[in-house]
Structure 1
Amino acid sequence: MKIAIVYASMTGNTEMIAEEFKAYFDKHSVEYQSYHINHDDFFAFDLTDYDAILFGSYTYGDGELPFELEDFYDELDDEDLSGKIFSLFGSCDSFYPLYGVALDILADKFTAQGATVVGEYLKVDLAPDGEDIKQVHALADTFLNATK
């Protein structure tokens, strides 16, 4: 089972969540690859190299995809994600009326391309705290159980 953690992060909050997933996987001896979109060469077609993907994104402004995911999102139209397992996480800001909708938008696209999205979307208000870390671990367990 090839697993990837893929995320977009502008302020570092979503990256902190990704780091928690990585630490959890390391502790449980789970092999994975990690990619920070816009820092690493990772494109929509690269998703097809993996069986299961933890995908993270922040929501920009008033409910928009981050700019670094706009082309990625459009390129997903060309990808068959049948049989792929996804779980979603991201930093959100409760200041805005549309809370974390980038995850909803991405989940709809992944599902439309044939993927299975498992677990509740992990929407963290800004930076993760202790309670959020518990939710990271719970989603990691749900995600890993779906890969068996």
Structure 2
Amino acid sequence: MVSANVVFATMTGNNEEVADLVCDALTREGIVVNETEISQTEFADFQTADILVVCAYTYDEGAMPEEGLDFFADLQSADLTGKVFGVAGSGDKFYGEYFNRTVDNFDAAFEASGAQRGANKVKIDLEPYEEDVERLANFAADLVQTAKKLV
């Protein structure tokens, strides 16, 4: 059976909601899902699933969540060949070119790890709205479709 680990970093609750929506959509697709907060997640445990998802915020001018820095460092040195990944997150378009930079950083680190992109990254402005719920459901469906090809 295909499994997924979804971690989130949130300051306002928006990215926990993003993670919840991804988890709900994965569960509807028949995936066994584990959801945890990034600072409470051991990277070694995270990488045991078939599908790996990070939902994290960006603050200020492109800064990563401090609580996720150790996790990110572990990701940068990991070999995730054979895993499927996806990255989603909310940010504030007010920051222009820095909007959701953390999503880009995690996406690049996953790609460098040898994991296979299962879905295009999803960037949400502030909190998820109705159209974002649909985008996240499609994101989850794409992850599952890619993972099933590898299993």
TM-score of the superposed pair, with normalisation by structure 2: 0.89
Of 20-29 and 1-10, the range deviating more from structure 2: 20-29
Deviation of 1:61 after TM superposition, in Å, equals 1.2
Q: Distance in 2 between matches of 1:96 and 1:57?
A: 16
Give a deviation string over 1:14-69, Cα, whole Å, max 9, x none.
1111111222233343211111112x3x1222232111112111112111111111
What percent identity do the matched residue pairs reach?
29
Counterpart position of 1:53: 52
In 2 relative to 1, CA 18–102 (structure 1 residues): closer, same or farther, beyond 3 Å? Answer: same
After superposition, residues 67-82 of structure 1 pair within 5 angstroms as 67-82=66-81
Is 1:137 the counterpart of 2:137? The answer is yes
- Which protein has the bigger helix share? 2
Deviation of 1:144 after TM superposition, in Å, equals 0.8
Q: Distance in 2 between matches of 1:17 and 1:80?
A: 26
Q: Please give the root-mean-square deviation of Cα atoms over the aligned residues, in Å.
A: 1.4
Counterpart position of 1:20: 21
How many residues get paired? 146
Counterpart position of 1:127: 127
Of 77-86 and 20-29, the range deviating more from structure 2: 20-29
Q: Secondary structure of the equivalent of 1:11? A: coil
Counterpart position of 1:103: 103
TM-score of the superposed pair, with normalisation by structure 1: 0.91
Question: Contact conserved, 2:88 with 2:103, CA < 8 A, in 1?
Answer: yes
Letter in 2 for 1:15: E
Q: Distance in 1 between matches of 2:136 and 2:89?
A: 11
Q: Distance in 2 between matches of 1:90 and 1:108?
A: 14
Q: Distance in 2 between matches of 1:77 and 1:54?
A: 15
Gaps of 5+ in 1: none
Counterpart position of 2:89: 90
Counterpart position of 1:5: 6
Q: Distance in 1 between matches of 2:6 and 2:143?
A: 11
Question: Contact conserved, 2:29 with 2:141, CA < 8 A, in 1?
Answer: no
Counterpart position of 2:63: 64
Q: Distance in 1 between matches of 2:19 and 2:104?
A: 18
Letter in 1 for 2:36: Y
